[in-house]
């Protein structure tokens, strides 16, 4: 470009050059020496920058972005001064580059007139993403990757975007054992949209990489097998390895190396380290691992001294710490006994449960001599902290007062860590919040000596619907509809704005249920529970009513030609309260129940001498129970125990009738139902591997007896075992139906030998049952908690207490799954195999499937 009319100095002509930015983040301006044909005539002096006025700025290459906006972003303005060469050009290029919408930027000097300079911004715009698709993988895997890479249509395609996408895909497959996954992203011009590209993402997982051999060197003091077992996710390829596959995952391998060193530290080898490790390919499917461990010396505790402690003496703290001179040096165990000991009291709990929130303790190794270590416990007690404010977040449905009455941390009281832990459990057992997301955050104020407690909650749906139906053979349609509102609000019924679908938020429970088997069997029930009667104390009130009607057909061929029926009206009122002794995990419930049995030509299995009559049952029930279970849906720790006693008045002992006499009518004998019944249930939960695999064991026992052996029990109260615990129509509705997987429903009853053949009786008066389950969660998401289980159980049922033998069991074992959905409750399926024969029912055992809806097998 020639400007013959301009008279410019040698320096000015030298500065008429191109300012270039390379395609890297280290932006720079490059002044060329080949600006025009006249440039070579002049010497360039780069050491003397000259100041110019920006007379004009032009943008070239901006076809899809606003030119004025790009000029403003560059920071260059017409009329302002600029040094050439200088930093202003470099800064402008960096600003444009950081936008991410350009792939190349140049700033050229297009003209110089006197002290005026004209600049040209030349750029290449990056294309936008129109669509992307995967090749080399299945549709389901492509959908999973789409969620992970989060590529958004319409965004600018940058090198960083492509690199990040590649890394995400490789990491995803590396976590599944595909260590050598190849990813290639090809940009294709969109055939329809301008300045837009499609991304073809080619994925080749290659072969899954497994571990062929793990070679340890330097392992002398400890067992090599035990060291290898500490590597939970890094296992050699072996035949029959199922639960811990041998695929190589780099992240898990790094974690397992830390586990190995932790194991050495636990055994007293405080200086143990992995001095060298190597992972190398054997072939495209296998890798070998070599690990060189330097064990070091084993150490022991010698002297433990305390400083800074005033509230508790050295002897008191030493007893809680429970570490003696000569014990193996174990930093992990020491830390547990100082800060949080799951198996007992720790030093921090001793202080923090008494308000010392600001307490801390630092163990310091003051002397290492030979194989012995002296520890000095440096204690800072601080002042006792008192609770100032309680802050609740996240309760979008549940009222504040429902939460506050369960919280053990009260404003004005001393801070207590134990109260925080207990509050977390109480909030979890309410069932209104996701127990996995309950957050407790103490916010201390050391200047005031106070602490605010913030509870972060996540509501979860907990109302339930039980809806099931089917065809009941000869009796037609069988259906159940149940609605349980677990967070109901009675006082908000007049406020129609709270009906979603019913008023909620006050923690009350309303249950409605209808079950029908055509006209042959129908039951209707309603119950209401107020857990805090009066609002001041946790005293619960429960009222309920139910009506059941059961009809009998003349034969299976004429099921709707009814010849008899039984109706039961039942009403109850119950009061419950929490106890403070022996501890406040105990509760007591007392209730009064009234039932009216109306029999009209109704014959029941094992009890045929009372087909018609009108009987009454007035029962006092009391239950004492204790539960320390941490989570009602998937418990991992704690236990529950309950003892239930049901008593009717001893009518026969208060009357003058001789029930041993032959002339006593069945109407007189069974008009007033009388018995005393005892039910005992106990369950324990314990994690055995990590925090997931849980061992659950249960014991169930029951006993019914009469006050007067001459009168007997009558037909209304018995135990029946087998199957999923559902009621059989051949038995009266007053029976307790106990599930026993691996056997048909209601198949385990005492049999009587009549005319040389066994006949089923009316049910047992004593039973016991033992259950052991191993549970493993698939998902702990509150929307659908899913876990698998393997179980073994045994139980039996006896007609008299003299026949009772707790070791004479009908045994079974099997596998199952549970799905808890808030809307439906617990759904379950079990396959079980019953190993023992049942008298009178030769086909009752063997292979059985059991389904449960809205309940758990007891």
Decide: 381 and 444 in contact? Cβ < 8 Å: no
| 247 beta partners | 210
Please tell me whether residue 206 adopts helix, strand or coil conformation: coil
In this prediction, residues 39-48 reach a mean pLDDT of 43
Decide: 776 and 692 in contact? Cβ < 8 Å: yes
Read off the pLDDT band of 724 (50, 70, 90).
confident
Query: How many residues would you count in the chain?
Result: 858
Burial class (CB in 10 A: 0-12, 13-18, 19+), 799: buried
Predicted local distance difference test score (pLDDT) of residue 18: 32
Token pair listed for 702 = 């029951």
276 and 318 in a single domain? The answer is no
237 and 280 in a single domain? The answer is yes
Read off the pLDDT band of 16 (50, 70, 90).
very low
Averaged pLDDT score across all residues of the chain:
84
Tens of pLDDT, residues 608-643: 678 888 999 999 999 999 999 988 888 999 999 999
Last residue of a domain, one of 380, 414, 439: 380
Contacts of 393-396 with CB under 8 Å at 24 or more apart are 393/454, 393/455, 393/456, 393/457, 394/433, 394/456, 394/457, 394/458, 394/459, 395/433, 395/457, 395/459, 396/459
> Is pLDDT at 469 greater than 70 in this prediction?
no
Token pair listed for 382 = 């601080």
- Domain count across the chain: 5
Assigned domain for 167 exists: yes
* Pairing outcome for strands 196-204 and 128-135: parallel
Tens of pLDDT, residues 258-275: 999 999 999 999 999 999
Read off the pLDDT band of 291 (50, 70, 90).
very high
> Is pLDDT at 583 greater than 50 in this prediction?
yes
Burial class (CB in 10 A: 0-12, 13-18, 19+), 561: exposed
Assigned domain for 596 exists: no
Residues 642-675 as b/e (b if ≥16 CB within 10 A, e otherwise) read: bebebbbebbbeeeeeeeeeeeeeeeebbebbbb
Read off the pLDDT band of 49 (50, 70, 90).
confident
Work out the end-to-end distance of the chain between its first and last CA atoms, rounded to an integer number of angstroms: 95
393 and 449 in a single domain? The answer is yes
User: Given CA atoms 841, 843, 846, 851 in this order, what sign does their dihedral have?
Assistant: negative
103 and 33 in a single domain? The answer is yes
In this prediction, residues 116-145 reach a mean pLDDT of 87
Decide: 680 and 643 in contact? Cβ < 8 Å: yes
Angle at CA of residue 79, ends 76 and 81, nearest 5°: 70
15 and 118 in a single domain? The answer is yes
In this prediction, residues 674-696 reach a mean pLDDT of 91
In this prediction, residues 378-382 reach a mean pLDDT of 95
* Domain region containing 192: 128-204
Last residue of a domain, one of 347, 380, 413: 380
In this prediction, residues 470-485 reach a mean pLDDT of 66
Assigned domain for 178 exists: yes
Predicted local distance difference test score (pLDDT) of residue 17: 35
Assigned domain for 424 exists: yes
Assigned domain for 317 exists: yes
* Greater model confidence, 717 or 5: 717
3-state helix/strand/coil string of 670-734: HCECCCEEEEEEEEEEEEEECCCEEEEEEEEEEEEECCCCCCCCCCCCCEEECECCCCCCCCCCC
Contacts of 8-13 with CB under 8 Å at 24 or more apart are 8/112, 10/42, 10/43, 10/44, 10/45, 11/42, 11/44, 11/45, 11/48, 11/50, 12/50, 12/112, 13/38, 13/39, 13/41, 13/42
Predicted local distance difference test score (pLDDT) of residue 755: 59
Sheet holding 18-21: strands in order across? 18-21, 102-113, 116-125, 50-60, 81-84
Assigned domain for 710 exists: no
- Report d(CA 354, CA 418) in Å as an integer: 9
- Report d(CA 378, CA 226) in Å as an integer: 35
Token pair listed for 194 = 């301008």
Query: What angle do helix axes 87-98 and 67-74 make, rounded to 10 degrees?
Result: 130
Decide: 604 and 587 in contact? Cβ < 8 Å: no
What CATH number is associated with residue 308? Answer: 3.10.20.310
- Report d(CA 703, CA 722) in Å as an integer: 17
Specify the range with the lowest mean pLDDT, choosing from 49-63, 472-486, 557-571.
472-486
- Report d(CA 318, CA 142) in Å as an integer: 59
286 and 305 in a single domain? The answer is no
Last residue of a domain, one of 338, 357, 380: 380
* Greater model confidence, 856 or 817: 817
Name the nearest CA neighbour of 464 among 479, 481, 446, 477. Answer: 481
Assigned domain for 574 exists: no
20 and 120 in a single domain? The answer is yes
> Is pLDDT at 207 greater than 50 in this prediction?
yes
Assigned domain for 714 exists: no
169 and 227 in a single domain? The answer is no
Predicted local distance difference test score (pLDDT) of residue 214: 94
In this prediction, residues 827-854 reach a mean pLDDT of 87
- Report d(CA 98, CA 377) in Å as an integer: 54
In this prediction, residues 658-670 reach a mean pLDDT of 82
Predicted local distance difference test score (pLDDT) of residue 35: 29
* Pairing outcome for strands 372-380 and 586-600: unpaired
Give the percent of the chain with pLDDT over 90. 47
Q: Which residue do the tokens 């990489």 mark?
A: 209
- Report d(CA 587, CA 574) in Å as an integer: 13
Q: Structure pTM?
A: 0.66
In this prediction, residues 90-118 reach a mean pLDDT of 80
> Is pLDDT at 98 greater than 80 in this prediction?
no
358 and 336 in a single domain? The answer is yes
Q: Which residue do the tokens 């125990």 mark?
A: 641
DSSP, residue by residue, 77-140 = -TT-EEEESSHHHHHHHHHHHHTSSEEEEEEEEEEEETTEEEEEEEEEEPPEEEEEEEESS-HH
- Report d(CA 699, CA 772) in Å as an integer: 9
Contacts of 342-348 with CB under 8 Å at 24 or more apart are 345/320, 346/320, 347/317, 347/320, 347/321, 348/417
Name the nearest CA neighbour of 237 among 247, 229, 222. Answer: 247
Specify the range with the lowest mean pLDDT, choosing from 63-67, 567-571, 641-645, 763-767.
63-67
Give the percent of the chain with pLDDT over 70. 87
Enumerate residues 6+ apart whose C-beta is below 8 A from 763: 606, 718, 719, 720, 731, 735, 749, 750, 797
- Report d(CA 74, CA 93) in Å as an integer: 7
- Report d(CA 694, CA 637) in Å as an integer: 8
Specify the range with the lowest mean pLDDT, choosing from 175-179, 457-461, 825-829.
825-829
79 and 184 in a single domain? The answer is no
DSSP, residue by residue, 485-508 = EEEE-STTTT-GGG-SSS-B-S-E
Task: Write the CA distances from 631 to 147, 428, 437, 529, 720, integer angstroms.
Answer: 31, 6, 12, 21, 30
Decide: 706 and 712 in contact? Cβ < 8 Å: yes
Tens of pLDDT, residues 516-532: 877 777 889 999 999 99
> Is pLDDT at 800 greater than 60 in this prediction?
yes
Specify the range with the lowest mean pLDDT, choosing from 386-395, 491-500, 751-760.
751-760
* Greater model confidence, 472 or 581: 581
Enumerate residues 6+ apart whose C-beta is below 8 A from 97: 21, 25, 27, 105
16 and 95 in a single domain? The answer is yes
28 and 119 in a single domain? The answer is yes
């Amino acid at each position: 470009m020639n400007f013959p009319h301009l008279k410019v100095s040698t320096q000015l002509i030298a500065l008429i050059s191109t300012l270039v930015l390379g395609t890297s983040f280290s932006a720079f301006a490059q002044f060329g020496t080949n600006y025009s044909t006249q440039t070579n005539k002049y010497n360039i002096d780069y050491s003397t920058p000259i100041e110019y006025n920006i007379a004009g700025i032009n943008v070239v290459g901006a076809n899809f972005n606003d030119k004025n906006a790009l000029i403003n972003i560059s920071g260059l303005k017409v009329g302002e001064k600029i040094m050439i060469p200088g930093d202003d050009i470099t800064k402008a290029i960096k600003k444009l580059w950081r936008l991410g919408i350009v792939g190349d930027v140049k700033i050229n000097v297009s003209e110089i007139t006197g002290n005026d300079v004209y600049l040209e911004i030349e750029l290449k715009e990056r294309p936008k993403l129109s669509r992307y698709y995967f090749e080399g993988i299945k549709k389901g895997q492509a959908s999973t990757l789409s969620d992970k890479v989060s590529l958004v249509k319409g965004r600018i395609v940058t090198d960083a975007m492509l690199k990040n996408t590649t890394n995400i895909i490789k990491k995803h497959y590396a976590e599944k054992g595909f260590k050598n996954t190849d990813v290639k992203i090809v940009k294709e011009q969109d055939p329809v949209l301008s300045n837009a590209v499609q991304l073809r993402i080619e994925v080749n997982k290659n072969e899954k990489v497994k571990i062929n051999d793990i070679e340890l060197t330097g392992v002398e003091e400890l067992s090599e097998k035990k060291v290898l077992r500490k590597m939970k996710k890094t296992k050699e390829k072996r035949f029959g390895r199922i639960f811990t596959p041998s695929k190589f995952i780099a992240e898990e391998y790094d974690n397992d190396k830390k586990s190995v060193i932790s194991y050495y530290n636990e055994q007293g080898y405080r200086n143990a380290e992995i001095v060298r490790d190597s992972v190398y390919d054997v072939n495209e499917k296998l890798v070998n691992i070599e690990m060189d461990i330097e064990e070091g010396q084993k150490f022991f505790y010698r002297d433990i001294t305390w400083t800074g402690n005033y509230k508790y003496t050295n002897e008191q703290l030493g007893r809680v710490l429970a570490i003696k001179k000569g014990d193996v040096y174990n930093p992990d165990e020491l830390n547990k006994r100082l800060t949080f000991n799951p198996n007992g009291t720790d030093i921090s709990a001793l202080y923090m449960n008494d308000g010392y929130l600001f307490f801390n303790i630092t163990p310091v190794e003051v002397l290492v001599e030979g194989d012995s270590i002296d520890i000095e416990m440096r204690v800072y007690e601080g002042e006792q902290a008192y609770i100032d404010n309680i802050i609740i977040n996240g309760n979008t449905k549940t009222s504040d007062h429902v939460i506050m009455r369960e919280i053990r941390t009260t404003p004005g009281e001393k801070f207590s860590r134990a109260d925080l832990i207990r509050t977390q459990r109480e909030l979890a057992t309410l069932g209104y919040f996701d127990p996995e997301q309950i957050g407790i955050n103490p916010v201390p104020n050391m200047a005031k000596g106070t602490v605010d407690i913030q509870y972060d909650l996540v509501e979860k749906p907990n109302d339930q619907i039980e809806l099931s139906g089917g065809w009941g053979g000869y009796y037609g349609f069988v259906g159940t509809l149940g609605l349980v509102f677990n967070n109901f609000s009675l006082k908000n019924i007049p406020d129609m704005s709270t009906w979603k679908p019913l008023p909620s938020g006050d923690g009350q429970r309303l249950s409605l249920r209808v079950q029908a088997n055509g006209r042959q069997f129908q039951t209707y029930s309603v119950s209401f529970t107020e857990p805090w009667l009066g609002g001041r104390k946790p005293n619960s009130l429960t009222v309920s009513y139910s009506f059941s009607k059961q009809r009998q057909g003349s034969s299976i061929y004429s099921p709707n030609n009814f010849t008899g029926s039984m109706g039961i009206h039942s009403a109850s009122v119950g009061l419950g309260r929490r106890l403070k002794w022996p501890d406040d995990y105990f509760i007591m419930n007392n209730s009064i129940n009234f039932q009216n049995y109306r029999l009209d030509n109704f014959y029941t299995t094992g009890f045929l001498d009372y087909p018609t009559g009108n009987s009454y049952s007035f029962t006092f029930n009391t239950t004492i129970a204790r539960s320390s279970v941490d989570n009602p849906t998937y418990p991992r720790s704690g236990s529950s125990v309950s003892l239930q006693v049901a008593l009717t008045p001893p009518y026969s002992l208060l009357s003058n009738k001789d029930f041993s006499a032959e002339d006593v009518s069945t109407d007189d004998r069974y008009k007033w139902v009388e018995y005393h019944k005892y039910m005992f249930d106990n369950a324990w939960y314990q994690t055995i591997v990590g925090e997931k695999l849980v061992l659950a064991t249960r014991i169930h026992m029951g006993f019914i007896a009469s006050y007067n052996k001459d009168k007997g029990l009558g037909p209304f109260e018995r135990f029946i075992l087998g199957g999923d615990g559902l009621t059989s129509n051949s038995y009266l509705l007053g029976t307790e139906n106990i599930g026993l997987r691996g056997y048909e429903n209601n198949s385990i009853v005492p049999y009587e030998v009549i005319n040389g053949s066994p006949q089923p009786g009316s049910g047992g008066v004593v039973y016991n049952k033992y259950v052991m389950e191993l549970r493993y969660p698939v998902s702990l998401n509150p929307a659908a908690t899913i876990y698998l289980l393997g179980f073994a159980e045994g139980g039996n049922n006896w007609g008299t207490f003299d026949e009772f033998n707790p070791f004479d069991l009908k045994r079974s074992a099997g596998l199952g799954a549970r799905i808890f959905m808030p809307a439906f409750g617990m759904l379950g399926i079990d396959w079980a195999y019953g190993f023992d024969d049942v008298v009178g029912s030769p086909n009752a055992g063997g292979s059985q499937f059991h389904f449960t809806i809205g309940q758990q097998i007891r």
